[in-house]
Structure 1
């Protein structure tokens, strides 16, 4: 089923405000929630935060007081939407448990986006980031076992495997190597624009989350791991935002933000099994239809342009959370040894010895790397947590031997040397 949000009837803006009781929603039960219901909520929260912050930035760069007022009104509703979504997370779900949800989002959302992406270069951008978030899930799952003595398969529902990706220690790259080639919005497939907006928003919120809560742990190792991975998430935001069209006007970008929210809520309401949360997504979709139409009218009146020339004729509910085990394994087997050189992705062995990558590695990694220490401490206790439901790791050098060794730093050197 497809629909065109410009031709649908939404909730009038003046009727969209909700009271505190309506926004202070009943949280889900962390023991019974479907892992992908948790994931949809995390992703939606990220998109709403991006919508609010973009609106604030647009307001700071707008002189027309009427446009500022319009932005402020829509933004207030977006802020309410964000609260209703984010308040679904229960207070008894620990920071580490929420974190593992964030990384499951990163793995399965990016996998979905990569498979939807029609442009080969952009697909490579997503697959490159995918392998890094996949490794983050493995590191946090081991920290969860180390600190709480609990195993992450209950949280991910065995829908997502947990094992090494591109080792985090090797993900730290010079900032100049995080800038990708941008698309052109008017020439790009509309699906490419939706894909980029969605993943950039999710990665940005992951960065925000780690930046905020990473210092709440008492254990130095946990604080170090969040610090290290938060820096990678900042790289990922640079990575994904750089594929967006930098020539788009503020109003164009506003229109595309609202379109992304329509697509997301339409997709999520189609697959959400919890009737209460499904109803929330339906309500938010009706609100976003109105927001999109307001942005479209702003484009007509201010820029004298037809928004339908920029927007797709219809939206499909194809933003789905589902198992991607075989796909992730395939990408791992083919791309684990890649790094970035400018806007291109190359095997690490192709970098010359004097490349800035190596200087940056020496500067930030020093003699202690938290993502490696977590695994070393687990092995010191005689265990390393993995969830390999589909067989041994697809990269031989990243498999565990009989003594539980290999798996990250040493193995990646072996992969790079092949």
Structure 2
């Protein structure tokens, strides 16, 4: 059955405010919860954070007091939603445990989007990025084993493999080579807009998380690894945000944000295994339907178009967290040696890439934190940590500069 969020009616805005008791939700059980429930929580937290920050930016550029007041009213409810979603994460989880969950989200959400993306150029952007998040998972898993003496496979429940991707030291590129070409808002498929917003928000959340938690560790290798991967996440946000057409109006961007929230809450309702969490997704969907209605009214009034000229008249197939092992292995076998130049991709090093590599690594990539964490874990454990569920993966020779 098709679901058109533009035709649905949600909870009126003046009935959406919740008190402290309602906001203080019980967290999931870290030992028994479905890892993909945790992934859905993390993904939706990123979406809510993006919605709040976008609304603040819109307000800072909006001269109309009435619009600013409406944005503030909706934004306060979005802030309550964000607290509920993020507070579903268990307080017992360590920062590293949460980090590994963040990277599982990055791998399986980006891989799913890459599989479903209809535009070849946009698909390539997601394929490129997923191999880097995949390698981050592997580096953090080795750190997790060293510091907490635990196996990442228990956290990801064998749903996502833990093994090398494109080596982390190769992710450092000249900033201008992280800027991609945007989609054309007038011709692109509506699902492509939702994909771009979703992955941008997920990567932005990861960037913010690493920027803040990195210095909370005492171990030098942990502080260094968060610093290195935090820099790469900044590159990833640049990579994904540049896919969005900068010609979209503020009203159009607001409409897309609210529609995307409806899409994701509706999607995750379909597959959520935890009844209490599913009830929250359903409640938030009914709130977001009203937020979308209000955004659509602003869009019609100020942009002068019908919302269905911008967004789909029915929600696309739901976003699904599921294993992507075969797909990621195929990308490892065919695209591990890619880097970027300008807005394109190449399989050979180029001068600007080599200069950045020399500057950031000082000519010795073995001293990059991503390499040091593997060396240190090998020294302590007798081998590096990895967890493969389908036999050894292919390791093509790298043609980019080492």
Structure 1 and Structure 2 fold alike (TM over 0.5): yes
Pairing 1:361–2:360 present: no
Task: Check conservation: 1:116, 1:191, Cα contact below 8 A.
Answer: no
Match for residue 161 of structure 2? 161
Cα RMSD for the two superposed structures = 1.2
**Residue 377 (structure 1) aligns with:** 376
Aligned position for 1:29: 29
Bigger mean CA offset, 191-200 vs 316-325: 316-325
The 5-angstrom pairing of residues 203-214 of structure 1 reads 203-214=203-214
**Equivalent residue, structure 1, for 2:275:** 275
Residue of structure 1 in register with 2:197 after alignment: 197
Specify the alignment match of 2:340 in structure 1: 340
CA deviation profile, 1:337-365 (whole Å, cap 9, x unmatched): 0000010011034x2xxx11111111112
Check the 8 A contact 1:178/1:342 in 2, yes or no. yes
Query: What's the counterpart of residue 86 of structure 1?
Result: 86
Is the 8 Å Cα contact of residues 266 and 317 (structure 1) preserved in structure 2?
no
Deviation at 1:303, TM superposition (A): 2.2
Which residue of 2 is the match for residue 144 of structure 1? 144
TM-score (norm 2): 0.97
In 2, Cα distance between equivalents of 1:322 and 1:284? 23
Three-state SS of the structure 1 residue aligned to 2:6 is helix
Match of 1:135 in 2: 135
Correspondences of 1:108-127 after superposition (within 5 Å): 108-127=108-127
Question: TM (normalized to structure 1)?
Answer: 0.94
Q: Distance in 2 between matches of 1:142 and 1:124?
A: 28
For the 8 Å contact 2:191–2:316, the answer to whether it is kept is no
- Paired with 2:52 and 2:360, the residues of 1 have a C-alpha distance of 33
Q: Does 1:72 align with 2:72?
A: yes
Alignment check: 8 A CA contact 1:206 1:233 kept: yes
* Aligned residue in 2 for 1:327: 327
Q: Give how far 1:393 is off.
A: 1.5
CA distance, structure 1, for counterparts of residue 96 and residue 267 of structure 2? 27
Question: Which stretches in structure 2 are left out of the alignment for 5+ residues?
Answer: none
Q: Structure 1: which 5+ residue stretches go unaligned?
A: 398-411
Q: Residues of 1 paired with 2:227 and 2:391: CA distance? A: 32
- State the SS of the aligned residue for 1:76: helix
Q: Post-superposition shift, 1:388?
A: 0.8
Give structure 1 regions of 4+ aligned residues with deviation exceeding 3 angstroms.
Answer: none
- CA distance, structure 1, for counterparts of residue 343 and residue 5 of structure 2: 35
SS at match of 1:6: coil
Q: Distance in 1 between matches of 2:335 and 2:311?
A: 33
Residues of 1 paired with 2:130 and 2:328: CA distance?
8
Residues paired across the two proteins, number: 398
Deviation digits for residues 8-54 of structure 1, max 9, x if unmatched? 11010110111111111101110001110000000000000000000
Deviation at 1:396, TM superposition (A): 5.1
Q: Hey, what's the Cα distance between the residues in 2 that align with 1:2 and 1:392?
A: 42
Distance in 1 (alpha carbons) for counterparts of 2:385 and 2:180? 34
Three-state SS of the structure 2 residue aligned to 1:389 is coil
Asked if the contact 2:42/2:105 (under 8 Å) is kept, the reply is yes
- Report the 3-state secondary structure (helix = DSSP H, G, I; strand = E; otherwise coil) of the residue aligned with 2:345: strand
Does the 8 A contact of 2:210 with 2:227 survive in 1? yes
Deviation of residue 317 (structure 1)? 4.3
Task: Identify the residue that residue 225 of structure 2 maps to in structure 1.
Answer: 225
SS of equivalent residue, structure 2 residue 346: strand
